[in-house]
Structure 1
Amino acid sequence: MSEPVSTFQNPAGTWSQAVYDVIKAQDVRLVPFVPDGGHRGLIERCQADPDMRAVTLTTEEEGVALAAGAWVGGVRSVLLMQSSGVGNCINMLSLLKTCQMPLVTLVTMRGEWGEFNPWQVPMGQATPDVLRAMGVLVQRVDDPELLPGEVDAALRLAYSTYSPVAVLLSQKLLGAKKFGGTK
């Protein structure tokens, strides 16, 4: 039997501009990221801004180190990654807690609502607990209208208390990827 075929429907255009406006207003000037379709609209806006430096990473833990170095140099950053990359950061996250450094990361979630790829499920399900175990404060957003306020609150919390904060962008917010095929 053939499953219905549909394309990834990412409503990023409905929220990426608002999130970009928030990080711009909060004087974020560095945006490290691993390329991700869920963050595409936000990445493109940051790349187009001459006052921001969007840096493509080869792995997510580089972004934690880059954000820490930027903070020491007086620059605010927001790290963009997918939930599958959180596992790559576990050891590096200890730096933030030990040195009392702020970090804001926006994490697009996989492995939950409507997921088609079984490889995404384990890390997607573990992401909130892994982050909390490493001392990261976790906020989760399902509603695109609430996302700009959550990002603003995360930036204020992180930079006022020198804490790492992750905002998890649920698959309901992003839209689920669906690929057809036969089984």
Structure 2
Amino acid sequence: MAEHNVLDQMVNWSDDIFKKFKEQRVAIVSYVPDAGHMRLIELCQQDSSIKTVALTTEEEGVALSAGAYLGGKRAVLLMQSSGVGNCINMFSLLKTCQFPFLTIVTMRGEWGEFNPWQLPTGQATPQVLEACGIHVMRVDESREVADTIEAALKLAYNSYSAVAVLLSQRMLGSKSFGRK
């Protein structure tokens, strides 16, 4: 029963984010495949007005977002907290050139985490992003998603800022991959 509730919540917050993407004219969504973003990625793939780009590494999404902005488009990078470490060097592009940027990060290494490899980066993600000059917003409950994503999109694109929205693992539900 609890697993079903988590799936229902995922559908709701994914739908809320997708609606904000449409309202705020997001044209490109890049991602490294992630189960936490799966529903949102599918929604974006089904919409002909949003171009989806599967990446081989998260830092490609930082460059893609900068290029999209230069081409007059709004882009969002979807990633897991473990991908933040891959982007550190590329984040300097955002700060130096003052490109608007939004990433939505599904958190790992928190609530009920089973994989010890996810703990170090998951726990360091907020501080790493802040040290790179990225404004961090955190969502702990699905009812906060829509307002937070709207605020983040406006902050990024109205003030030429880099913004990261962290979706907490407690909200997403912990992964098990068959382990109990």
The question of a shared fold, defined as TM-score above 0.5 by the shorter chain, is answered with yes
Secondary structure class of the residue paired with 1:88:
helix
Q: Count how many residue pairs are aligned between Structure 1 and Structure 2.
A: 175
Deviations 1:134-182 (A, max 9, x none): 000000001101101100000000111101000000001100112426x
- Root-mean-square deviation over aligned CA pairs: 1.3
Alignment of 1:120-135 (within 5 A): 120-135=118-133
Distance 1:167 1:46 in 2: 18
Distance, in Å, in 1 between the alignment partners of 2:76 and 2:22 is 11
Map 1:159-174 to 2 at 5 A: 159-174=157-172
Query: For 1:180 and 1:61, how far apart are their aligned partners in 2?
Result: 31
Matched to 1:169, the amino acid is L
Q: Show the counterpart of 2:135.
A: 137
Q: Distance in 2 between matches of 1:163 and 1:157?
A: 7
Contact 1:86-1:127 at 8 Å conserved across structures: yes
Structure 1's consecutive aligned runs of 4 or more residues displaced over 3 angstroms after TM superposition are none
- Measured in 1, the distance between the counterparts of 2:25 and 2:84 equals 25
Higher relative helix content: 2
Q: Which residue of 2 aligns with 1:157?
A: 155
Equivalent position of 1:14 in the other structure: 12
Give 1:60 deviation, angstroms.
Answer: 0.1
- 1:101 maps to which residue? 99
The reply on whether 1:148 has 2:115 as its aligned counterpart is no
Q: Tell me, in whole angstroms, the C-alpha distance in 2 between the residues paired with 1:13 and 1:23.
A: 15
TM-score, length-scaled by structure 1: 0.93
Contact map agreement 1:107 1:166 (CA 8 A) in 2: yes
Secondary structure at the aligned position of 1:145 is classed as: helix
Which residue pairs with 1:86 in the alignment?
84
The 1-side partners of 2:179 and 2:42 are apart by 29
Equivalent-residue separation in structure 2 for 1:44 and 1:164 (angstroms): 25
Gaps of 5+ in 2: none
Which structure is larger by alpha-carbon Rg, 1 or 2?
1
Deviation sequence 1:67-101 (CA, Å, 0-9, x none): 00000110001110000000000000000000010
Give yes or no for contact 1:12–1:40 (8 Å, CA) kept in 2. no
Tell me how far 1:18 sits from its aligned partner: 1.0
1:63 counterpart = 2:74: no
Report the equivalent of 2:179. Answer: 180
Q: One-letter code of the match for 1:44?
A: E
TM-score of the aligned structures, taking structure 2 as reference length:
0.94
Partner Cα distance (1:46, 1:104) in 2? 16
Query: Partner residue of 2:116?
Result: 118
